[in-house]
């Protein structure tokens, strides 16, 4: 009897093991994989407004060309720093990320990126030469390739022609961002590197090699600017500039076109003192579990059709020579703005000095964070303190007047 029970138990365990294996194989097969992509918000053609859904197109490509059942798990971040926090902490595993140049330099230095196998990325041949070899200033001195450019561009100033006259003296200069004529109508970047960059460029200092004293001078300039700005913004800039609730803002050239579509009173220039030129590039984290598939994804993004779809959707400058030469793309951009190609790729973009942001030393990063906190604490708390103090003083004054009047009434009664 005992033997029968043991045999029955073993049979049940065997059936359970077989069913578990069967269920597991139904959920995830060797040909089924999830690719985790981490990108900036609004930075890929996603199928909205009649655009091509690039991630869905990649999934179809994988089924038809690679024989793989791939699902792209796509999520977004709002800053290089928030992306870095996740990658460096190991709290999340991604297969493709798209950081900016100075952050790529930092990730390479900390060995958080995997070198790319260019044999899996043949479309690398269509990347402009200015983003290859010795021209790649953000990957260190290694002969290895850690990134493939996705988009690039420059920071400029957007302004509303209804508010800013064409003969305004500060037009064409960073001075417009400090012009008291537009008090409470100016928007400043809500991130430390770009905000301090505007001040350092205005002062004529090197944004990567500025001395401690020059950084403090930039802080003082930003303190002065607080008297004229409406606020520190990032994504909020779109609604404010589209609606005309702000007149002047520093932001990226590609985003100007998105705003212009909804408000044709807007115009744009690159400040003559100099500005930031940035590159956002596709990388594979060292912790990726799907490195080969990630490189197929990067290669797919460098395909001409996909590159055109992304460039038409985002309005940023493409590093792909095939995209820049594409007649459909050129026509699309000219419909968005008559000078779009000139602003992105022409003499207007090459006529002012530019500097990229390089990865700062740990000491400089600590100092920058400290200066930014100093500025923002004053901005967020300082005005509040003045308001609170004013209310308290007003209340005390009202109380004092009340007691004086009360005393006089009592005095009259006794008289």
Q: What is the pLDDT of residues 103-146, one digit of tens each?
A: 999 999 999 999 999 999 999 999 999 999 989 999 987 889 99
pLDDT above 70: residue 84: yes
Query: In DSSP terms, which residues pair with 154 in a beta bridge?
Result: 277
Q: What are phi and psi of 35, to 5 degrees?
A: -105, 125
Domains annotated on the chain, with CATH:
28-151+280-337 (3.40.190.10), 153-277+358-378 (3.40.190.10)
Torsion of CA 97, 98, 103, 108, to 10 degrees: 50
Return all residues near 103 (Cβ < 8 A) that are at least 6 apart.
80, 81, 83, 84, 359
Q: CB–CB of 171/272 below 8 Å? A: no
Predicted confidence band of residue 378 (pLDDT cuts 50, 70, 90)? confident
Return all residues near 409 (Cβ < 8 A) that are at least 6 apart.
none
Q: pLDDT for 93-107, tens place per residue? A: 999 999 999 999 999
* pLDDT at residue 78, rounded to an integer: 84
Whole-model pTM: value is: 0.82
* pLDDT at residue 141, rounded to an integer: 76
pLDDT above 60: residue 29: no
The Cα 353–Cα 276 span in angstroms is 9
pLDDT above 70: residue 8: no
The Cα 213–Cα 206 span in angstroms is 12
Predicted confidence band of residue 172 (pLDDT cuts 50, 70, 90)? very high
The Cα 327–Cα 347 span in angstroms is 20
């Amino acid at each position: 009897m005992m033997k029968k029970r043991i045999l029955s138990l073993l049979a049940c365990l065997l059936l359970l093991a077989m069913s578990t294996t069967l269920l597991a194989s139904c959920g995830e097969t060797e040909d089924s994989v999830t690719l985790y992509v981490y990108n900036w918000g609004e930075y890929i053609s996603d199928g909205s407004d009649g655009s091509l859904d690039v991630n869905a197109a990649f999934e179809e490509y994988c089924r038809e060309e690679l024989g793989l059942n791939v699902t792209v798990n796509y999520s977004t971040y709002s800053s290089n720093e928030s992306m870095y926090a996740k990658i460096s902490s190991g709290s999340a595993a991604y297969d493709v990320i798209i950081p900016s140049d100075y952050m790529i330099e930092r990730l390479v230095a900390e060995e958080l990126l995997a070198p790319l196998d260019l044999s899996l990325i043949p479309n690398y041949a269509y990347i402009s030469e200015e983003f290859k070899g010795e021209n790649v200033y953000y990957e260190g001195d290694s002969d290895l390739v850690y990134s493939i450019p996705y988009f690039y561009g420059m920071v400029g100033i957007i302004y509303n022609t209804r508010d800013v006259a064409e003969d305004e003296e500060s037009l064409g200069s960073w001075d417009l961002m400090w012009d008291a004529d537009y008090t409470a109508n100016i928007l400043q970047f809500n991130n430390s590197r770009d905000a301090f960059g505007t001040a350092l460029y205005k002062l004529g200092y090197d944004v990567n090699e500025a001395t401690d004293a020059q950084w403090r001078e930039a802080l003082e300039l930003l303190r002065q600017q607080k008297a004229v700005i409406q606020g520190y913004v990032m994504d909020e800039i779109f609604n404010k500039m589209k609606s005309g609730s702000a007149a002047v803002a520093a932001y990226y050239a590609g985003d100007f076109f998105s705003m212009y579509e909804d408000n044709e009173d807007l115009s744009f220039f690159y400040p003559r003192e100099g500005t930031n030129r940035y590159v956002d590039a596709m990388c594979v984290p060292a912790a990726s579990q799907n490195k080969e598939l990630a490189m197929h994804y990067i290669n797919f993004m460098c395909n001409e059709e996909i590159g055109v779809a992304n460039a038409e959707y985002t309005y940023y400058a493409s590093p792909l020579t095939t995209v820049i030469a594409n007649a459909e793309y050129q026509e699309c951009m000219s419909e968005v703005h008559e000078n779009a190609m000139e602003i992105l790729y022409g003499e207007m973009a090459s006529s002012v000095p530019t500097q990229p942001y390089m990865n700062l030393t740990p000491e400089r990063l600590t100092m920058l964070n400290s200066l930014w906190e100093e500025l923002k604490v004053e901005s967020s708390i300082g005005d509040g303190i003045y308001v609170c103090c004013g209310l308290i003083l007003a209340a005390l004054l009202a109380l004092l007047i009340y007691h004086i009047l009360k005393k006089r009434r009592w005095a009259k009664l006794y008289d």
